[in-house]
Structure 1
Amino acid sequence: MRTLITALAIGAGALLAVPALAYDGTKCKAAGNCWEPKPGFPEKIAGSKYDPKHDPKELSKQSDSIKQMEERNARRIEAAKKTGKFEYDVTKLSAN
């Protein structure tokens, strides 16, 4: 009985693993570049109805916030070098 259950478990595992072997990688454009669109979608997204057309202002928000963060960090480091004490709160630095 135990052998039968073990054999069934191994058989079920092998049956579930078969779909993973179905992809043979023959549709790759180059080594490691195997992306292909789903059926019904265009090859290129830009200019199609699926193009998200992001707003440049929205896209620049992250780079602006990173620039502001770097400026704050530079002020913190400069103040730490002068005073020997690191202060996280930038509003306290401008009061000095």
Structure 2
Amino acid sequence: MRMFIVAAALAAGALVAGPASAYDGTKCKAPGNCWEPKPGFPEKIAGSKYDPKHDPKELNKQSESIKQMEERNRQRVENFKKTGKFEYDITKISSK
């Protein structure tokens, strides 16, 4: 039992002491504006490795896929109006 108490006391002491360089959030630019970057994180994002650089092709992928989906749906509806039968597979529609 004594071993457990000693171990618990040592663990509690380690938690209280903690590292001296830990972030404490006390550097405020204005009242209520206490954000500061973590160590190693740049003050400004623009131009750093954290700056998101978006490729226009990547940004347009979703709109292109939506256009393709709408075209497939148009073909399905057109085929349904002609035949009265709904066909999901576009390759079967174009081969008829």
Normalised by the size of structure 1, how large is the TM-score? 0.52
1:65 maps to what in 2? Answer: 65
Task: Tell me by how many angstroms 1:39 deviates.
Answer: 2.2
- 1:30-59 per-residue CA deviation (whole Å, 9 max, x = no partner) reads xxxxxx8x52278985x3423211111111
1:76–1:86 contact (8 Å) kept in structure 2? yes
Aligned partners of 1:43 and 1:81: how far apart in 2? 61
Aligned residue identity for 1:71: E
Task: Specify the alignment match of 1:39 in structure 2.
Answer: 36
Aligned partners of 1:44 and 1:82: how far apart in 2?
60
Measure the CA separation in 1 of the matches of 2:83 and 2:75: 12
Q: Which amino acid aligns with 1:94?
A: S
Mark the CA change 1:64 to 1:44 in structure 2 (over 3 Å): closer, same or farther: farther
Q: Distance in 2 between matches of 1:65 and 1:44?
A: 35
Q: Which has the higher helix share?
A: 1
Contact 1:42–1:48 (CA under 8 A) maintained in structure 2: no
Structure 2 residue 89 is the aligned partner of structure 1 residue 89: yes
Give the length in aligned residue pairs: 61
What's the CA shift for 1:94?
Answer: 0.3
Displacement of 1:65 in angstroms is: 0.9
Please tell me the residue identity of whatever aligns with 1:72: R
1:67 positional shift: 0.6
Percent identity, please. 68
Alignment of 1:13-28 (within 5 A): none
What value does the CA root-mean-square deviation take over the aligned residues? 2.7
- CA distance in 1 between partners of 2:88 and 2:66 (Å): 17
- Residue-by-residue CA offset, 1:54-95 (whole Å, 9 max, x unaligned): 111111111111110110001001111111110000000001
Indicate the structure (1 or 2) with the bigger Cα radius of gyration: 2
- Structure 1: gaps spanning 5 or more residues: 1-26, 28-35
